[in-house]
Protein backbone atom coordinates (compact mmCIF):
# COMPACT_ATOMS: atom_id res chain seq x y z
CA UNK A 1 0.00 0.00 0.00
CA UNK A 2 1.23 3.45 -0.87
CA UNK A 3 1.08 4.80 2.68
CA UNK A 4 1.64 1.58 4.64
CA UNK A 5 4.09 2.40 7.44
CA UNK A 6 5.16 -1.20 8.15
CA UNK A 7 7.42 -1.80 5.08
CA UNK A 8 9.26 1.43 5.93
CA UNK A 9 10.08 0.40 9.49
CA UNK A 10 13.17 -1.47 8.28
CA UNK A 11 14.59 1.81 6.97
CA UNK A 12 15.04 2.91 10.59
CA UNK A 13 17.62 1.48 13.03
CA UNK A 14 16.01 -0.60 15.78
CA UNK A 15 17.25 1.81 18.44
CA UNK A 16 15.20 4.62 16.86
CA UNK A 17 11.88 2.76 16.69
CA UNK A 18 12.15 0.19 19.45
CA UNK A 19 9.77 1.96 21.83
CA UNK A 20 7.01 2.38 19.25
CA UNK A 21 7.44 -1.09 17.78
CA UNK A 22 5.44 -2.70 20.56
CA UNK A 23 2.54 -0.38 19.75
CA UNK A 24 2.63 -1.45 16.08
CA UNK A 25 2.73 -5.16 16.93
CA UNK A 26 -0.26 -4.90 19.25
CA UNK A 27 -2.13 -2.57 16.88
CA UNK A 28 -1.90 -5.16 14.08
CA UNK A 29 -2.44 -8.30 16.19
CA UNK A 30 -6.11 -9.43 16.19
CA UNK A 31 -5.50 -11.34 19.43
CA UNK A 32 -4.21 -8.28 21.26
CA UNK A 33 -6.55 -6.26 23.49
CA UNK A 34 -5.07 -3.19 21.78
CA UNK A 35 -5.96 -4.37 18.26
CA UNK A 36 -6.63 -1.31 16.04
CA UNK A 37 -6.54 0.94 19.10
CA UNK A 38 -4.86 4.16 18.06
CA UNK A 39 -2.44 5.78 20.51
CA UNK A 40 -2.32 9.52 19.72
CA UNK A 41 0.69 9.98 22.01
CA UNK A 42 2.73 7.17 20.43
CA UNK A 43 1.70 6.76 16.78
CA UNK A 44 2.64 10.24 15.44
CA UNK A 45 6.08 10.10 17.07
CA UNK A 46 6.65 6.62 15.72
CA UNK A 47 5.64 7.71 12.22
CA UNK A 48 7.86 10.78 12.45
CA UNK A 49 10.83 8.63 13.46
CA UNK A 50 10.27 6.25 10.54
CA UNK A 51 9.91 9.14 8.08
CA UNK A 52 13.00 10.90 9.40
CA UNK A 53 15.12 7.76 9.04
CA UNK A 54 13.67 6.98 5.62
CA UNK A 55 14.69 10.49 4.59
CA UNK A 56 18.26 9.93 5.80
CA UNK A 57 18.64 6.62 3.98
CA UNK A 58 16.94 7.76 0.77
CA UNK A 59 18.82 11.08 0.64
CA UNK A 60 22.19 9.39 1.05
CA UNK A 61 21.29 6.86 -1.63
CA UNK A 62 20.08 9.65 -3.94
CA UNK A 63 23.43 11.40 -3.61
CA UNK A 64 25.18 8.27 -4.84
CA UNK A 65 22.65 7.88 -7.65
CA UNK A 66 23.47 11.37 -8.87
CA UNK A 67 27.23 10.87 -8.62
CA UNK A 68 27.92 13.04 -5.58
CA UNK A 69 31.54 12.60 -4.43
CA UNK A 70 31.50 15.09 -1.56
CA UNK A 71 33.53 13.64 1.34
CA UNK A 72 31.12 15.35 3.73
CA UNK A 73 28.59 12.69 2.76
CA UNK A 74 30.75 9.94 4.26
CA UNK A 75 31.52 12.06 7.30
CA UNK A 76 27.83 12.53 8.04
CA UNK A 77 27.15 8.84 7.39
CA UNK A 78 29.77 7.89 9.97
CA UNK A 79 28.06 10.07 12.57
CA UNK A 80 24.38 9.42 11.87
CA UNK A 81 23.18 5.88 12.52
CA UNK A 82 21.57 4.50 9.36
CA UNK A 83 19.66 1.30 8.78
CA UNK A 84 21.67 -1.26 6.77
CA UNK A 85 18.49 -2.55 5.10
CA UNK A 86 18.11 -2.17 1.35
CA UNK A 87 15.16 -3.40 -0.73
CA UNK A 88 15.55 -6.50 -2.89
CA UNK A 89 13.30 -8.56 -5.13
CA UNK A 90 10.13 -7.41 -6.86
CA UNK A 91 7.98 -4.72 -5.22
CA UNK A 92 4.33 -4.13 -6.05
CA UNK A 93 2.95 -0.73 -5.05
CA UNK A 94 -0.81 -0.42 -4.64
CA UNK A 95 -1.94 3.06 -5.66
CA UNK A 96 -5.17 2.91 -3.68
CA UNK A 97 -7.46 3.08 -6.72
CA UNK A 98 -7.16 -0.53 -7.86
CA UNK A 99 -4.03 -0.04 -9.93
CA UNK A 100 -0.68 -1.73 -9.36
CA UNK A 101 2.84 -0.48 -10.07
CA UNK A 102 5.58 -3.12 -10.30
CA UNK A 103 9.23 -2.24 -9.79
CA UNK A 104 12.38 -4.35 -9.41
CA UNK A 105 15.24 -1.84 -9.40
CA UNK A 106 16.30 -1.74 -5.69
CA UNK A 107 17.57 1.85 -5.84
CA UNK A 108 14.29 3.03 -7.36
CA UNK A 109 12.26 1.02 -4.83
CA UNK A 110 14.11 2.71 -1.97
CA UNK A 111 13.25 6.14 -3.35
CA UNK A 112 9.57 5.20 -3.78
CA UNK A 113 9.37 3.87 -0.23
CA UNK A 114 10.39 7.33 0.91
CA UNK A 115 8.56 9.62 -1.52
CA UNK A 116 5.24 7.73 -1.40
CA UNK A 117 5.17 8.20 2.36
CA UNK A 118 5.20 12.00 2.17
CA UNK A 119 2.13 13.83 3.45
CA UNK A 120 0.52 16.96 2.07
CA UNK A 121 -0.41 19.72 4.58
CA UNK A 122 -4.08 18.70 4.58
CA UNK A 123 -3.11 15.10 5.39
CA UNK A 124 -1.13 15.99 8.49
CA UNK A 125 -3.86 15.19 11.01
CA UNK A 126 -4.56 12.48 13.55
CA UNK A 127 -7.34 10.82 11.56
CA UNK A 128 -5.23 10.45 8.42
CA UNK A 129 -2.23 9.12 10.37
CA UNK A 130 -4.53 6.57 12.01
CA UNK A 131 -5.59 5.44 8.55
CA UNK A 132 -1.95 5.01 7.50
CA UNK A 133 -1.39 2.44 10.23
CA UNK A 134 -4.54 0.58 9.19
CA UNK A 135 -3.39 0.33 5.56
CA UNK A 136 -1.27 -2.69 6.43
CA UNK A 137 -4.49 -4.63 6.97
CA UNK A 138 -6.10 -3.61 3.68
CA UNK A 139 -4.09 -5.71 1.22
CA UNK A 140 -6.72 -8.42 0.78
CA UNK A 141 -9.46 -6.04 -0.34
CA UNK A 142 -6.98 -4.01 -2.40
CA UNK A 143 -5.76 -7.16 -4.15
CA UNK A 144 -9.30 -8.27 -4.96
CA UNK A 145 -10.04 -4.89 -6.53
CA UNK A 146 -6.75 -4.96 -8.44
CA UNK A 147 -7.46 -8.43 -9.83
CA UNK A 148 -10.81 -7.19 -11.05
CA UNK A 149 -9.32 -4.17 -12.81
CA UNK A 150 -6.10 -5.91 -13.96
CA UNK A 151 -4.44 -2.52 -14.41
CA UNK A 152 -0.73 -3.19 -13.88
CA UNK A 153 2.16 -0.93 -14.88
CA UNK A 154 5.71 -2.30 -14.98
CA UNK A 155 8.30 0.44 -14.50
CA UNK A 156 11.21 -0.99 -16.49
CA UNK A 157 12.76 1.75 -18.61
CA UNK A 158 13.43 4.14 -15.74
CA UNK A 159 15.80 6.41 -17.69
CA UNK A 160 12.81 7.64 -19.70
CA UNK A 161 10.21 8.10 -16.96
CA UNK A 162 8.28 11.33 -17.62
CA UNK A 163 9.18 14.24 -15.38
CA UNK A 164 5.91 16.05 -16.00
CA UNK A 165 2.60 15.03 -14.50
CA UNK A 166 0.99 16.13 -17.78
CA UNK A 167 2.66 13.44 -19.89
CA UNK A 168 0.21 11.00 -21.46
CA UNK A 169 1.74 7.56 -21.07
CA UNK A 170 1.01 4.54 -18.90
CA UNK A 171 4.13 5.24 -16.86
CA UNK A 172 3.08 8.84 -16.33
CA UNK A 173 -0.36 7.78 -15.13
CA UNK A 174 1.19 5.30 -12.70
CA UNK A 175 3.57 7.91 -11.31
CA UNK A 176 0.69 10.35 -10.91
CA UNK A 177 -1.32 7.74 -9.02
CA UNK A 178 1.62 7.36 -6.64
CA UNK A 179 1.73 11.12 -6.16
CA UNK A 180 5.37 11.45 -7.21
CA UNK A 181 6.95 14.88 -7.46
CA UNK A 182 9.47 15.95 -10.10
CA UNK A 183 12.24 15.38 -7.58
CA UNK A 184 11.08 11.80 -7.04
CA UNK A 185 10.95 11.20 -10.80
CA UNK A 186 14.49 12.54 -11.17
CA UNK A 187 15.62 10.02 -8.57
CA UNK A 188 13.94 7.23 -10.55
CA UNK A 189 15.76 8.37 -13.69
CA UNK A 190 19.04 8.43 -11.80
CA UNK A 191 18.37 4.89 -10.56
CA UNK A 192 17.75 3.82 -14.15
CA UNK A 193 20.96 5.47 -15.36
CA UNK A 194 22.94 3.80 -12.56
CA UNK A 195 21.48 0.41 -13.41
CA UNK A 196 22.41 0.96 -17.05
CA UNK A 197 25.97 1.87 -16.06
CA UNK A 198 26.22 -1.17 -13.79
CA UNK A 199 25.27 -3.43 -16.68
CA UNK A 200 27.90 -1.76 -18.87
CA UNK A 201 30.48 -2.31 -16.12
CA UNK A 202 29.45 -5.95 -15.90
CA UNK A 203 30.00 -6.38 -19.64
CA UNK A 204 33.47 -4.92 -19.23
CA UNK A 205 34.26 -7.29 -16.36
CA UNK A 206 32.83 -10.25 -18.28
CA UNK A 207 35.20 -9.47 -21.13
CA UNK A 208 38.08 -10.36 -18.77
CA UNK A 209 36.90 -13.94 -18.24
CA UNK A 210 38.99 -15.41 -21.05
CA UNK A 211 42.07 -13.54 -19.81
CA UNK A 212 41.50 -14.88 -16.30
CA UNK A 213 40.96 -18.45 -17.55
CA UNK A 214 44.13 -18.33 -19.64
CA UNK A 215 46.20 -17.01 -16.73
CA UNK A 216 44.74 -19.65 -14.40
CA UNK A 217 45.65 -22.29 -16.97
CA UNK A 218 49.26 -21.08 -16.79
CA UNK A 219 49.18 -21.31 -12.98
CA UNK A 220 47.84 -24.88 -13.24
CA UNK A 221 50.65 -25.76 -15.65
CA UNK A 222 53.13 -24.25 -13.20
CA UNK A 223 51.67 -26.36 -10.40
CA UNK A 224 52.00 -29.52 -12.52
CA UNK A 225 55.61 -28.68 -13.40
CA UNK A 226 56.38 -28.41 -9.68
CA UNK A 227 54.88 -31.85 -9.07
CA UNK A 228 57.14 -33.27 -11.78
CA UNK A 229 60.09 -31.76 -9.89
CA UNK A 230 58.80 -33.48 -6.72
CA UNK A 231 58.24 -30.20 -4.94
CA UNK A 232 54.98 -28.59 -3.88
CA UNK A 233 54.13 -25.42 -5.80
CA UNK A 234 53.76 -23.52 -2.51
CA UNK A 235 57.33 -24.30 -1.52
CA UNK A 236 58.68 -23.85 -5.04
CA UNK A 237 57.11 -20.42 -5.26
CA UNK A 238 58.39 -19.50 -1.82
CA UNK A 239 61.98 -20.47 -2.70
CA UNK A 240 61.90 -18.90 -6.21
CA UNK A 241 64.80 -20.81 -7.77
CA UNK A 242 63.52 -21.54 -11.29
CA UNK A 243 62.38 -19.38 -14.20
CA UNK A 244 59.01 -21.10 -13.93
CA UNK A 245 58.64 -19.59 -10.45
CA UNK A 246 59.26 -16.12 -11.86
CA UNK A 247 56.73 -16.66 -14.65
CA UNK A 248 54.22 -17.95 -12.12
CA UNK A 249 54.65 -14.75 -10.15
CA UNK A 250 53.95 -12.67 -13.27
CA UNK A 251 50.64 -14.49 -13.78
CA UNK A 252 49.82 -14.17 -10.08
CA UNK A 253 50.21 -10.40 -10.25
CA UNK A 254 48.16 -10.23 -13.46
CA UNK A 255 45.30 -12.16 -11.88
CA UNK A 256 45.31 -10.33 -8.56
CA UNK A 257 45.15 -7.01 -10.41
CA UNK A 258 42.01 -8.05 -12.29
CA UNK A 259 40.28 -9.46 -9.20
CA UNK A 260 41.20 -6.41 -7.12
CA UNK A 261 39.51 -4.20 -9.70
CA UNK A 262 36.36 -6.33 -9.52
CA UNK A 263 36.30 -6.22 -5.72
CA UNK A 264 36.71 -2.43 -5.68
CA UNK A 265 33.82 -2.06 -8.14
CA UNK A 266 31.66 -4.24 -5.90
CA UNK A 267 32.57 -2.13 -2.87
CA UNK A 268 31.62 1.03 -4.78
CA UNK A 269 28.30 -0.55 -5.86
CA UNK A 270 29.32 -0.24 -9.51
CA UNK A 271 28.16 -3.74 -10.48
CA UNK A 272 24.62 -5.22 -10.48
CA UNK A 273 23.47 -6.59 -7.14
CA UNK A 274 23.29 -10.10 -8.59
CA UNK A 275 26.87 -10.14 -9.87
CA UNK A 276 28.29 -11.99 -6.85
CA UNK A 277 25.63 -14.68 -7.19
CA UNK A 278 26.35 -15.56 -10.82
CA UNK A 279 27.40 -19.22 -11.09
CA UNK A 280 30.14 -18.59 -13.66
CA UNK A 281 31.84 -16.00 -11.45
CA UNK A 282 31.46 -18.11 -8.30
CA UNK A 283 33.23 -20.99 -10.06
CA UNK A 284 35.90 -18.75 -11.59
CA UNK A 285 36.45 -16.94 -8.28
CA UNK A 286 36.77 -20.26 -6.43
CA UNK A 287 39.31 -21.62 -8.93
CA UNK A 288 41.25 -18.36 -8.68
CA UNK A 289 41.27 -18.50 -4.88
CA UNK A 290 42.37 -22.14 -4.72
CA UNK A 291 45.20 -21.68 -7.20
CA UNK A 292 46.47 -18.20 -6.39
CA UNK A 293 46.00 -17.62 -2.65
CA UNK A 294 48.65 -20.23 -1.68
CA UNK A 295 51.08 -18.26 -3.87
CA UNK A 296 50.13 -15.00 -2.15
CA UNK A 297 50.73 -16.64 1.22
CA UNK A 298 54.09 -18.00 0.04
CA UNK A 299 55.09 -14.53 -1.16
CA UNK A 300 53.98 -13.00 2.16
CA UNK A 301 56.10 -15.32 4.31
CA UNK A 302 58.98 -15.42 1.84
CA UNK A 303 59.48 -11.70 2.40
CA UNK A 304 58.94 -12.08 6.18
CA UNK A 305 56.07 -9.60 6.02
CA UNK A 306 54.53 -11.33 9.02
CA UNK A 307 57.31 -9.89 11.20
CA UNK A 308 56.31 -6.31 10.43
CA UNK A 309 52.61 -6.62 9.59
CA UNK A 310 51.51 -9.63 11.61
CA UNK A 311 49.86 -12.96 10.74
CA UNK A 312 48.49 -13.19 7.21
CA UNK A 313 44.99 -14.15 8.34
CA UNK A 314 44.76 -11.37 10.91
CA UNK A 315 46.32 -8.41 9.14
CA UNK A 316 46.98 -9.12 5.49
CA UNK A 317 44.47 -11.39 3.76
CA UNK A 318 43.28 -9.45 0.68
CA UNK A 319 39.60 -8.81 0.05
CA UNK A 320 39.85 -10.61 -3.29
CA UNK A 321 39.99 -13.88 -1.34
CA UNK A 322 37.52 -12.92 1.37
CA UNK A 323 34.96 -11.93 -1.27
CA UNK A 324 35.37 -14.99 -3.51
CA UNK A 325 35.21 -17.30 -0.49
CA UNK A 326 32.02 -15.57 0.63
CA UNK A 327 30.49 -16.05 -2.84
CA UNK A 328 30.95 -19.81 -2.63
CA UNK A 329 29.81 -20.16 0.98
CA UNK A 330 26.72 -18.09 0.29
CA UNK A 331 25.86 -20.06 -2.87
CA UNK A 332 26.26 -23.38 -1.05
CA UNK A 333 24.59 -22.08 2.12
CA UNK A 334 27.64 -22.89 4.22
CA UNK A 335 28.69 -21.10 7.43
CA UNK A 336 31.31 -18.36 7.29
CA UNK A 337 34.79 -19.87 7.17
CA UNK A 338 33.65 -23.26 5.89
CA UNK A 339 35.69 -22.99 2.67
CA UNK A 340 38.97 -22.03 4.31
CA UNK A 341 41.18 -24.65 2.62
CA UNK A 342 43.08 -21.96 0.71
CA UNK A 343 44.42 -20.46 3.94
CA UNK A 344 45.95 -23.78 5.03
CA UNK A 345 49.52 -22.62 4.43
CA UNK A 346 49.05 -19.42 6.42
CA UNK A 347 47.98 -21.47 9.43
CA UNK A 348 50.95 -23.80 9.00
CA UNK A 349 53.36 -20.85 8.87
CA UNK A 350 51.98 -19.47 12.14
CA UNK A 351 51.81 -22.80 13.97
CA UNK A 352 55.34 -23.90 13.12
CA UNK A 353 56.96 -20.99 14.96
CA UNK A 354 55.07 -21.62 18.21
CA UNK A 355 55.66 -24.22 20.96
CA UNK A 356 53.59 -27.38 20.52
CA UNK A 357 52.09 -27.14 24.00
CA UNK A 358 50.75 -23.69 23.17
CA UNK A 359 49.02 -24.72 19.94
CA UNK A 360 48.20 -28.41 20.49
CA UNK A 361 44.43 -27.98 20.03
CA UNK A 362 44.92 -25.94 16.86
CA UNK A 363 47.26 -28.59 15.46
CA UNK A 364 44.70 -31.35 16.08
CA UNK A 365 41.96 -29.30 14.45
CA UNK A 366 44.15 -28.49 11.45
CA UNK A 367 45.02 -32.17 10.95
CA UNK A 368 41.33 -33.09 10.90
CA UNK A 369 40.67 -30.35 8.35
CA UNK A 370 43.60 -31.46 6.18
CA UNK A 371 42.29 -35.04 6.16
CA UNK A 372 38.88 -33.79 4.99
CA UNK A 373 40.34 -31.44 2.38
CA UNK A 374 42.63 -34.13 0.93
CA UNK A 375 39.79 -36.67 0.72
CA UNK A 376 37.58 -34.11 -1.03
CA UNK A 377 40.33 -33.13 -3.44
CA UNK A 378 40.54 -29.57 -2.13
CA UNK A 379 44.15 -29.99 -1.02
CA UNK A 380 46.82 -31.77 -3.04
CA UNK A 381 48.97 -34.56 -1.64
CA UNK A 382 52.02 -32.47 -2.49
CA UNK A 383 51.68 -31.04 1.03
CA UNK A 384 53.04 -34.40 2.28
CA UNK A 385 56.21 -34.36 0.14
CA UNK A 386 59.41 -34.84 2.15
CA UNK A 387 60.68 -31.30 1.59
CA UNK A 388 57.37 -29.50 2.02
CA UNK A 389 57.04 -26.85 4.73
CA UNK A 390 54.19 -28.84 6.26
CA UNK A 391 56.09 -32.15 6.33
CA UNK A 392 59.20 -30.61 7.87
CA UNK A 393 57.15 -28.93 10.60
CA UNK A 394 54.95 -31.99 11.25
CA UNK A 395 58.04 -34.15 11.84
CA UNK A 396 59.11 -31.81 14.65
CA UNK A 397 55.93 -32.56 16.61
CA UNK A 398 56.20 -34.92 19.62
CA UNK A 399 56.36 -38.63 18.75
CA UNK A 400 53.21 -39.44 20.72
CA UNK A 401 51.29 -36.89 18.70
CA UNK A 402 52.62 -38.10 15.34
CA UNK A 403 51.99 -41.76 16.07
CA UNK A 404 48.34 -41.08 16.85
CA UNK A 405 47.74 -38.51 14.14
CA UNK A 406 45.05 -39.03 11.52
CA UNK A 407 47.67 -37.95 8.94
CA UNK A 408 50.33 -40.48 9.92
CA UNK A 409 49.44 -42.75 7.01
CA UNK A 410 50.05 -39.99 4.46
CA UNK A 411 53.59 -39.18 5.56
CA UNK A 412 56.47 -41.53 4.85
CA UNK A 413 58.53 -42.62 7.84
What confidence category does residue 323 fall into, taking pLDDT thresholds of 50, 70 and 90?
Answer: very high
Query: Positive or negative, the Cα torsion across 228, 229, 230, 234?
Result: negative
**Rounded average pLDDT over 257-280:** 94
Residues 6+ apart with CB under 8 A from 332: 338, 339
**Rounded average pLDDT over 103-111:** 93
d(CA 361, CA 366): 9
Instruction: Tell me if 393 is assigned to some domain.
Output: no
Residues 6+ apart with CB under 8 A from 364: none
Same domain membership, residue 165 and residue 29: yes
Same domain membership, residue 136 and residue 95: yes
pLDDT at 164: 82
Instruction: Tell me if 397 is assigned to some domain.
Output: no
Whose CA is closest to 202, among 159, 260, 266?
Answer: 266
Same domain membership, residue 167 and residue 28: yes
Continuous segment of H or E residues that includes residue 53:
helix 43-65
Instruction: Tell me if 248 is assigned to some domain.
Output: yes
Instruction: Tell me if 389 is assigned to some domain.
Output: no
What confidence category does residue 77 fall into, taking pLDDT thresholds of 50, 70 and 90?
Answer: low
d(CA 394, CA 326): 30
What confidence category does residue 143 fall into, taking pLDDT thresholds of 50, 70 and 90?
Answer: confident
Instruction: Tell me if 394 is assigned to some domain.
Output: no
d(CA 110, CA 269): 15
Instruction: Give 219 or 268, the one with higher predicted confidence.
Output: 219
Instruction: Give 413 or 313, the one with higher predicted confidence.
Output: 313
What confidence category does residue 100 fall into, taking pLDDT thresholds of 50, 70 and 90?
Answer: confident
pLDDT at 73: 57
- DSSP one-letter string for 71-134: HHHHHHHHHS--------S-EEEE-SSSEEEEE--HHHHHHHHHHTT---GGG-SHHHHHHHHH
**Structural domain containing residue 168:** 6-197
Query: Of 327, 352, 377, which residue constitutes the final position of a domain?
Result: 352
Same domain membership, residue 181 and residue 157: yes
Instruction: Tell me if 148 is assigned to some domain.
Output: yes
Instruction: Tell me if 368 is assigned to some domain.
Output: no
Taking residue 402's Cβ as centre, other Cβ atoms within 10 Å add up to 15
Q: Please say if the pLDDT value at position 148 is more than 90.
A: no
Residues 6+ apart with CB under 8 A from 23: 34, 39, 42, 43, 46
Q: Alpha carbon 139 to chain centroid distance?
A: 32
Residues 6+ apart with CB under 8 A from 224: none
**Low-confidence winner among 3-7, 134-138, 156-160, 226-230 (lowest mean pLDDT):** 134-138
Count of domains in the chain? 2
Same domain membership, residue 222 and residue 131: no
Instruction: Tell me if 171 is assigned to some domain.
Output: yes
**Rounded average pLDDT over 110-133:** 78
Percentage of residues in the chain having pLDDT higher than 90: 53
Instruction: Give 56 or 277, the one with higher predicted confidence.
Output: 277
Same domain membership, residue 176 and residue 305: no
Phi, psi of 378 (to 5 degrees): -90, -15
Same domain membership, residue 213 and residue 192: no
Q: Please say if the pLDDT value at position 407 is more than 80.
A: yes
Query: Of 331, 352, 373, which residue constitutes the final position of a domain?
Result: 352
d(CA 84, CA 62): 15
Query: Positive or negative, the Cα torsion across 396, 400, 402, 406?
Result: negative
pLDDT tens sequence across 30-76: 888 878 777 777 777 888 888 888 888 888 888 878 776 665 656 65
Same domain membership, residue 158 and residue 274: no
Phi, psi of 154 (to 5 degrees): -100, 115
**Rounded average pLDDT over 240-251:** 93
pLDDT tens sequence across 338-354: 999 999 999 999 999 99
Same domain membership, residue 234 and residue 185: no
Q: Please say if the pLDDT value at position 239 is more than 60.
A: yes
Residue 325 exposure: Cα atoms within 13 Å on the Cβ side: 20
Residues 6+ apart with CB under 8 A from 82: 13, 53, 56, 57, 60
pTM for this model (two decimals): 0.82
pLDDT tens sequence across 355-380: 999 999 999 999 999 999 999 999 98
Phi, psi of 364 (to 5 degrees): -60, -45
Q: Please say if the pLDDT value at position 318 is more than 80.
A: yes
Same domain membership, residue 78 and residue 119: yes
SS3 153: strand
| Per-position b or e across 67-90, b if 16+ CB within 10 A of its CB | eeeeeeeeeeeeeeebbeeebeee
- The per-residue pLDDT of the chain, averaged, comes to 88
Query: Of 333, 352, 371, which residue constitutes the final position of a domain?
Result: 352
Same domain membership, residue 260 and residue 171: no
Q: Please say if the pLDDT value at position 237 is more than 60.
A: yes
Q: Please say if the pLDDT value at position 409 is more than 90.
A: no
pLDDT at 212: 97
Same domain membership, residue 237 and residue 147: no
pLDDT tens sequence across 195-224: 999 999 999 999 999 999 999 999 999 999
Query: Positive or negative, the Cα torsion across 337, 13, 18, 135?
Result: negative
pLDDT at 70: 62
Amino acid sequence: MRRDVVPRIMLAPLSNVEQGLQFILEFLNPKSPHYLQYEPTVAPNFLLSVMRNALSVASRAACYLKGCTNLLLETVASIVELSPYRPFGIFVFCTGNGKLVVLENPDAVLQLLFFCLQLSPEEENSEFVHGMFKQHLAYESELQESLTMQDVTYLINLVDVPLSADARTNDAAALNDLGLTTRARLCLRAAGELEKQKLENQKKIDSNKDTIKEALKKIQEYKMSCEIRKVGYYDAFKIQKENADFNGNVKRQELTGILDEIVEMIKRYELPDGFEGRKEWIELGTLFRRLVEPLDIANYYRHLMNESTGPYMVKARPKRYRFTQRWLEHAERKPVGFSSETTFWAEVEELRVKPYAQVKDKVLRLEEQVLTWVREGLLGKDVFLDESTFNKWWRTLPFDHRSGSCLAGFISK
